[in-house]
Amino acid sequence: MEREKGGKLNISGRTVAIAAVFLFLSLLPLLLLGKYNVMCIDDYDYGRRVHDVFLATGSFGASVQEAWRQNMDFYRDWQGTYVSCFLMAMCPMNFRYGLAWVVPILMIGMFAASSFAVGRHILVRWLGCEKRGASLCMILLLFLFYQVIEAPFEGIYWYNGSTHYVLMQSFWFFLLTLLSESVWADKRGRAVLCCAASAVLAVIVGGGNLVTGLQSEILMAFLAGYAIWKKRNKIAYVIIPFLTGTAGFLVNTLAPGNARRGSLDVDEGFGAVKSILLSFYHMAVFAVRWTPLFAVLVWLALLPLLWKMTKASKREFSHPVLVTAGAYCVLSAMFTPTLFAVGMTGLSRVDNIIQMTYYIAALLVTAYWLGYLSHRAIGTQGVGMTAGEIETVQSSDAEAGGAAQAFGVFLERTGCRMSAVCLLLLMAVWLLTADKNTYAGISALRSLAKGEAQTFYAEAMERHALYTDEGLADVVVVPYSAKPALFSFEDLQEDPGNWLNLAVANYYHKNSVKLAGGQKGAD
């Protein structure tokens, strides 16, 4: 950030490029740790049939067909998520065990790109912010998220869990960006293209997890209402994806397998009304949980930039209370499906996508309020004045005690220094925190430097050699002597009847698989 005349902030392309390089470097340890990633948990159950077909035929096409047949079986007997189940069956490790390293590349790549796209789009199109500043905001937000992510393993390394939630949420963020762009696009061809892509993505999102699906239905309905109210010439561009997405969502929720699974599931959810009410409560609880000092420092560092961008915006910022309430309702709705289905929150693979949505929403709501305050100050004091006169009046009003003007003048006068101090404190907290597993990037770097990842992977490959030894019918493996802190998955147990032991045994066609006695596997 560089200083212009009048104390304003200017974002250069070089600043954005440096921030992007820093973000990549902060993610690099997470990606490098992926080299030592392995297949685990539900990957075995969902991938077994495809793995068997590929071993028997060596045909990728035949494997795809088997994945779809399994998907249809699941649809009838277990769950309606017809896109997630198909993708989960197509686990890369079914085709080559050593391909687990592609999982973090895929998940970080898709989620980071889609989060960046939707956040930047809303800042630029809906709030009228300039593009470089919006890009910088999203880069810092992604840095924040990937350092304090609720469940790194479930959101980055575990193929099955991250596909069902992180990948589906990524599709939704891309869909929302395209759908919104079709409303704002000036050229008809661009609007048509965005609408067509949105219609396809809406079917994909409708076949994913219900948390993302419900969120998409709410926001697509909002966009349809906005088009009817404000941009009637764009109604068709919104309605078509809304209809295809709703059709996909209904196909998902009305699947016979959902009812059958519900009859077998011992977990009992709350009623619809109670689930909705509890969702508002839990959103407040998790908002506190997801706003540590690390997040506060990022927020403070961005305040001067957000003030500058929204002050220069031509948008009206007329309804900050409604926008805040709407964002809170959408976030709360993401807790409702699990409360309704199983009567609980805190499923870490679900919390990852809610956490990132919360950070994006918090950024956008903050920007909206700053736009409201800055425009209110100018609108009430600046009629008929030049820009210099407006600034003079704002300064005098601030000295007289005007809250909005005082806040704005403070940000404009100290913006560079405030952002620099907050970013320095952020780096200090990130690098100097006593527990090196607190932040994901530092934890990954620690595991690589100490050799934990390398040792873990060598022992995992020793296990795999036993699993694929056709001369062994009953396999006994030893506990891991080391495991990266981010690889927080459940290990095999001494009991061969444990569900995970059975899943591994079935996948490799063994009579039994168990952990050597004397101690349990690492969690």
427-481 pLDDT per residue, tens: 999 999 999 999 999 999 999 999 999 999 999 999 999 999 999 999 999 999 9
- What does the alpha-carbon distance between residue 106 and residue 109 come to, in Å, rounded to a whole number? 5
**CA dist 135 → 15, 167, 293, 337 (Å):** 10, 22, 23, 32
**CA dist 316 → 327, 361, 402, 407 (Å):** 18, 19, 21, 19
Q: Is the confidence at residue 390, as pLDDT, over 80?
A: no
pLDDT reported for residue 85? 96
CB of 182 closer than 8 Å to CB of 191: yes
Helix, strand, coil shares of the chain, percent, nearest 5, are: 75, 0, 20
Overall average pLDDT of the 350-376 stretch: 95
User: Kind and range of the H or E element at 203?
Assistant: helix 188-206
pLDDT reported for residue 10? 73
**Is residue 318 in a domain?**
no
- What does the alpha-carbon distance between residue 501 and residue 483 come to, in Å, rounded to a whole number? 19
- pLDDT class for 401, splitting at 50, 70, 90? very low
Q: Is the confidence at residue 78, as pLDDT, over 50?
A: yes
CB atoms under 10 Å from CB of 324, counted, come to 15
Look at residue 96 and give its three-state secondary structure.
Answer: coil
Q: What is the pLDDT of residues 110-163, one digit of tens each?
A: 999 999 999 999 999 999 999 999 999 999 999 999 999 999 999 999 999 999
- pLDDT class for 7, splitting at 50, 70, 90? very low
- pLDDT class for 385, splitting at 50, 70, 90? very low
Please give the sequence-ordered ranges of beta strands (E in DSSP) within 26-160, or none if there are none.
none
Look at residue 437 and give its three-state secondary structure.
Answer: coil
Overall average pLDDT of the 4-22 stretch: 77
Show which of 222, 254, 286 is a domain's final residue: 254
- What does the alpha-carbon distance between residue 242 and residue 219 come to, in Å, rounded to a whole number? 10
**Is residue 467 in a domain?**
yes
Overall average pLDDT of the 8-32 stretch: 91
Q: What percent of the chain has pLDDT over 90?
A: 81
- What does the alpha-carbon distance between residue 5 and residue 489 come to, in Å, rounded to a whole number? 54
| Number of folded domains that form the chain | 3
48's tokens:
């077994």
**Is residue 72 in a domain?**
yes
- pTM value is 0.91
Average pLDDT value for the chain: 91
Look at residue 104 and give its three-state secondary structure.
Answer: helix
Find the distance separating the first CA and the last CA of the chain, reported in whole Å. Answer: 44
- pLDDT class for 278, splitting at 50, 70, 90? very high
Q: What percent of the chain has pLDDT over 70?
A: 91
Q: Is the confidence at residue 102, as pLDDT, over 60?
A: yes
pLDDT reported for residue 402? 64
**Is residue 459 in a domain?**
yes
Overall average pLDDT of the 16-37 stretch: 97
Overall average pLDDT of the 97-101 stretch: 96
Nearest CA-CA partner of 215 in 313, 108, 360, 80: 360
pLDDT reported for residue 376? 74
Q: What is the pLDDT of residues 306-346, one digit of tens each?
A: 999 999 999 999 999 999 999 999 999 999 999 988 888 87
Q: Encode 374-387: b = buried (16+ Cβ within 10 Å), e = exposed.
A: bbebbeebbeeeee
Residues 6+ apart with CB under 8 A from 409: 394, 395, 398
Poorest-pLDDT segment among 173-182, 455-464, 512-521: 512-521
**Is residue 135 in a domain?**
no
pLDDT reported for residue 11? 82
Higher pLDDT, 271 or 197: 197
28: left (phi over 0), alpha (psi -120 to 50) or beta: alpha
Higher pLDDT, 490 or 71: 71
Q: Is the confidence at residue 486, as pLDDT, over 80?
A: yes
Overall average pLDDT of the 202-229 stretch: 95
Overall average pLDDT of the 100-109 stretch: 98
- pLDDT class for 352, splitting at 50, 70, 90? very high
**Is residue 46 in a domain?**
yes
For 448, list phi and psi in degrees, rounded to 5: -70, -45
157's tokens:
């390394």
- What does the alpha-carbon distance between residue 474 and residue 390 come to, in Å, rounded to a whole number? 81
- Nearest-5° Cα angle at 149, 483 to 166: 95
- What does the alpha-carbon distance between residue 91 and residue 56 come to, in Å, rounded to a whole number? 17
- Tell me whether strands 9-10 and 474-477 are parallel, antiparallel or unpaired: unpaired
**Is residue 50 in a domain?**
yes
Higher pLDDT, 399 or 495: 495
**Is residue 474 in a domain?**
yes
For 363, list phi and psi in degrees, rounded to 5: -60, -45
- pLDDT class for 188, splitting at 50, 70, 90? very high
Show which of 90, 123, 156 is a domain's final residue: 90
Q: Is the confidence at residue 383, as pLDDT, over 50?
A: no
CB of 142 closer than 8 Å to CB of 115: yes
Parent domain of 466: 451-515
Show which of 254, 281, 315 is a domain's final residue: 254
